Amino acid sequence: MIATRESRLALWQAEHVQRLLQERGHAVRLLGMTTRGDQILDRSLSKVGGKGLFVKELELALEEGRADIAVHSLKDVPMELPEGFALACVLEREDPRDAFVSPAYASLDALPQGAVVGTSSLRRVVLLRALRPDLRIEPLRGNLDTRLRKLDDGQYDGIILAAAGLKRLGLESRIRTAFEPETMLPAAGQGALGIEVRADRADLIALLAPLAHREDGLATAAERAVSRAMGGSCSMPLAAHARWQADGSLRIEAAWGDVDGVGALLRVEAQSAVGDAAQAEALGDEAAARLRAAGAH
């Protein structure tokens, strides 16, 4: 049994894992749930408890035995899981980039001065301010369909969404521009799916192992280590993105900005050979140390 949120994107993600397991001969059903994160739409996540609000009810279903696994967008998974839970695997990653979506403007650069852009991500806020300090950045909550509807209703001139979600739901045509990481650095784990289980379910961890993508698992482990070392949550204006290089090493970039707009956006990078999770996390810790040395807190 897979515990999942009931938004269209969350159901796509759960059904994707369901298909992968069914192809391997397993019988799988879904347990749809509404989380606190789905219910609270009038305040930013940073003010009401963070992205963990999207996973707590699913973890309760695992704890009570009503479900065996939970499928999450990895960027929504807290850096420290509660005692008794484990991240069993990270699947192959979809496009990790942020996307600019607008019915009238082809790119962020095309927006007129003072245009309204919607996002509730503090990371995106500080990155947008660095790119276009003249814009009005307004809060935007709700699932992906709700956000698109608010845009189409004229509440915003443009909005920033994860490219992965749009692509998974067949809405790639809504993307006007996908930001390269050099321009807008993604969130830790963005575009990846993670499967959570109870830590004592060694049988499930073994069963899920074939679904894991080694390279993406190591890259996202490095990214999540940056956030963990910085005390990262959705109340932290932090970005981290790792990419494999031609020589086989892993290069991670991290960025931090003051949400109050004080000081310049800080950006660092680190690179090393990575062969296991411990080395990936050490690389992330190194990037976090460089951020702190540059003045991030």
Count Cα atoms within 13 angstroms, Cβ side, for 121.
Answer: 23
Neighbours of 227 (CB within 10 A): 24
Cβ proximity of 224 and 216 under 8 Å: no
Check whether 40 has a pLDDT greater than 50.
Answer: no
3-state secondary structure of 80: coil
pLDDT for 45 equals 47
Kindly tell me if the per-residue pLDDT of 49 is higher than 60: no
Give pLDDT, residue 51: 54
Neighbour count for residue 112 (Cβ, 10 Å): 10
* Better-predicted residue by pLDDT, 182 or 49: 182
- Whole-angstrom Cα distance, residue 10 to residue 71? 8
Query: What six digits make up the tokens of 71?
Result: 């499928």
In this predicted structure, the answer to whether residue 155 has a pLDDT above a threshold of 80 is: yes
pLDDT value at residue 189: 96
Would you say 30 and 18 are in contact if contact means Cβ atoms under 8 Å apart? yes
Residue 56: what pLDDT?
Answer: 85
247 is catalytic: no
> pLDDT of 94-121, one tens digit each?
999 999 999 999 999 999 999 999 998 9
Whether 166 and 175 have beta carbons less than 8 Å apart is answered as yes
Percent of the chain with pLDDT over 70: 91
Does residue 52 have a pLDDT over 80?
no
Distance CA 272, CA 239 (A): 19
Mean local confidence (pLDDT), 80-106: 96
> Which tokens sit at 73?
């967008």
Summarised one tens digit per residue, pLDDT across range 217-263 is 999 999 999 999 998 655 679 999 999 999 999 999 999 998 776 66
User: CA 87, CA 80: separation in Å to the nearest integer?
Assistant: 10
Q: Confidence class of residue 36 from pLDDT cuts 50, 70 and 90?
A: low
Cβ neighbours of residue 88 under 8 Å, at least 6 residues apart?
Answer: 69, 195, 196, 197, 204, 205, 208, 209, 212
Give mean pLDDT, residues 156-175. Answer: 97
Count of Cβ atoms closer than 10 Å to residue 104 Cβ:
12
The 8-class DSSP code of residue 182 comes to T
Please tell me which residue in 38, 76, 98, 157 is annotated as part of the active site. 76
Give the pLDDT mean for 130-150.
94
The pLDDT of residue 261 is: 66
The chain-wide mean pLDDT, for the chain, equals: 91
Binning pLDDT at 50, 70 and 90, where does residue 136 land?
very high
pLDDT confidence of residue 233: 59
**Residues 276-297: what's their mean pLDDT?**
95
Q: What is the pLDDT of residue 48?
A: 44
Token pair 């082809």: residue: 106
What pLDDT does residue 219 have? 98
Domains of the chain: 1-93+192-212 (3.40.190.10), 98-178 (3.40.190.10), 214-297 (3.30.160.40)
Closest listed residue to residue 294, CA positions, set 239, 238, 255:
255
Q: Cβ atoms within 10 A of the Cβ of 176, count?
A: 17
Cβ distance 121 to 160 under 8 Å?
yes
Question: How many other CB atoms are found less than 10 A from the CB of residue 254?
Answer: 30
Sorting pLDDT into bands at 50, 70 and 90, what band is 53? low
Q: pTM value?
A: 0.89
C-alpha 227/C-alpha 187 separation (Å) is 9
Which among 23, 2, 35 is positioned nearest to 211, based on CA atoms? Answer: 23
